[in-house]
């Protein structure tokens, strides 16, 4: 029986099977079989989307049997075999797919990641270079990012930095490349450069648990306990049950302190719960004292504000958020305005889904 490895990532950067580029496969002599193969392939994609890897593998294999020249089906079978740890079968399927469709950026990236995971670094690099060089490739930055991450895995940090930098030269908001460049700078004890990369990331995306921990580590390297505390508070507020919150707490104790409230108590939680989870807001501050946040509200422009309480690890905190924005850039502009108005605060953009998950 095939055993899949949970939710193991299929590729270093998300060149997902669900978004395979169209492939120019040659028609078979049996149009009915070709049509049935395409139907089975689409079924396999749907199974993969819903996390049913075994069914996806079965459907992809059926598609290959019906139409051996369906490159997309070979690629999907390769990815499913890779996830099932059937490495030899995956290798065969990748080779068959590449023979049928040698100019697919998706296939070259996925096959490159497969080779990198097997520590065939030279072969992986050649595949990524081919993907990046394809003039019709709509996302060459993915190939550069994959190549950079593979170079990191091979222990070649200078090459990794060069490739990741190429990725963001193509697309400044390539989140994985920017994040990894920040991590590299931090590992090289260049905290100011790391912070610059983190700021570039935040110009395009809201914080995640990983970027908040990165910020805490940067502040720790800078010798700024207040900065560490600020990021730790954000993690405990936004991602209280995350591994990153646990790691951040080991860097030092948050300044906010603790106060005892009944678990799950909230203030104005109904407003927060009723917001569109895809919308964004600006978190202004976290404090053990509600009065402090009440005073801050007086300094804010007229907008929708809320104070709510969360209780991570029995350490309740009041949290002040302001605004309800459907667009991330609008929320980011509001955050910058708050920074100017309250220069001692370090506001950050959040989406309501993350807040609602912890209420």
- The CATH fold of domain 269-356: Alpha-Beta Plaits (3.30.70)
Measuring CA to CA, how many Å separate 274 from each of 143, 157, 264, 327?
A: 41, 46, 17, 17
Q: What are phi and psi of 282, to 5 degrees?
A: -115, 120
- The CATH fold of domain 17-169: 1.25.40
pTM above the 0.85 mark? no
Digit-by-digit pLDDT tens for the chain (359 residues) are 444 444 333 344 444 444 444 444 444 448 888 888 888 899 888 988 888 888 988 988 898 888 999 999 999 999 999 988 899 999 999 999 999 999 999 999 999 999 999 999 999 999 999 999 999 999 999 999 999 999 999 999 999 999 999 999 999 999 999 999 999 999 999 999 999 999 999 999 999 999 999 999 999 998 888 889 889 989 988 898 899 998 988 886 544 433 333 332 234 677 788 788 899 999 998 888 888 888 888 787 656 788 888 876 667 788 899 888 888 988 888 888 888 888 888 899 998 988 888 87
Decide whether 17-169 matches 269-356 in CATH topology. no
- The CATH fold of domain 175-249: 1.25.40
User: Domain locations in the chain?
Assistant: 17-169, 175-249, 269-356
Q: What are phi and psi of 274, to 5 degrees?
A: -90, 0
Name the token pair of 72: 């997309």
Name the token pair of 289: 């004292």
Q: How many residues comprise the chain?
A: 359
Considering all CA atoms of the chain, what is the largest pairwise distance in Å, rounded to the nearest integer? Answer: 77
Sign of CA dihedral 334, 336, 339, 340: negative
């Amino acid at each position: 029986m095939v055993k899949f490895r949970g939710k193991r990532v299929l590729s270093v950067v998300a060149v997902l099977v669900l978004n395979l580029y169209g492939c120019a496969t040659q028609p078979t002599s049996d149009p009915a079989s070709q049509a049935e193969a395409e139907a089975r392939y689409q079924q396999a994609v749907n199974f993969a989307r819903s996390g049913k890897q075994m069914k996806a593998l079965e459907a992809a294999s059926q598609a290959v049997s019906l139409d051996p020249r369906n490159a997309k089906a070979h690629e999907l079978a390769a990815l499913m075999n890779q996830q099932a740890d059937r490495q030899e079968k995956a290798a065969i399927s990748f080779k068959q797919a590449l023979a049928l469709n040698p100019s697919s950026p998706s296939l070259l990236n996925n096959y490159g990641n497969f080779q990198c995971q097997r520590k065939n670094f030279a072969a992986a690099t050649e595949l990524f270079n081919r993907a990046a060089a394809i003039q019709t490739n709509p996302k060459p930055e993915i190939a550069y990012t994959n190549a950079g991450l593979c170079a990191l895995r091979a222990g070649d940090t200078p090459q990794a930095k060069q490739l990741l930098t190429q990725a963001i030269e193509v697309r400044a908001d390539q989140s994985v490349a920017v994040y990894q460049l920040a991590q590299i700078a931090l590992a090289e004890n260049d905290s100011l450069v790391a912070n610059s990369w983190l700021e570039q990331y935040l110009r395009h995306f809201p914080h995640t648990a990983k970027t908040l921990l990165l910020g805490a580590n940067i502040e720790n390297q800078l010798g700024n306990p207040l900065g560490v505390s600020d990021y730790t508070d954000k993690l405990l507020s936004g991602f209280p049950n995350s591994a990153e919150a646990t790691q951040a707490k080991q860097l030092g104790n948050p300044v906010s302190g603790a106060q005892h409230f009944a678990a799950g108590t909230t203030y104005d939680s109904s407003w927060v719960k009723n917001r569109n989870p895809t919308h964004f807001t600006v978190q202004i501050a976290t404090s053990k004292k509600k009065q402090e946040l009440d005073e801050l509200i007086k300094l804010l422009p007229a907008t929708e504000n809320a104070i709510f309480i969360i209780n991570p690890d029995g350490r309740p905190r009041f949290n002040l958020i302001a605004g309800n924005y459907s667009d991330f850039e609008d929320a980011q502009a509001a955050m910058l305005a708050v920074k100017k108005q309250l220069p001692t605060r370090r506001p950050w953009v959040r989406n309501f889904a993350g807040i609602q998950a912890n209420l």
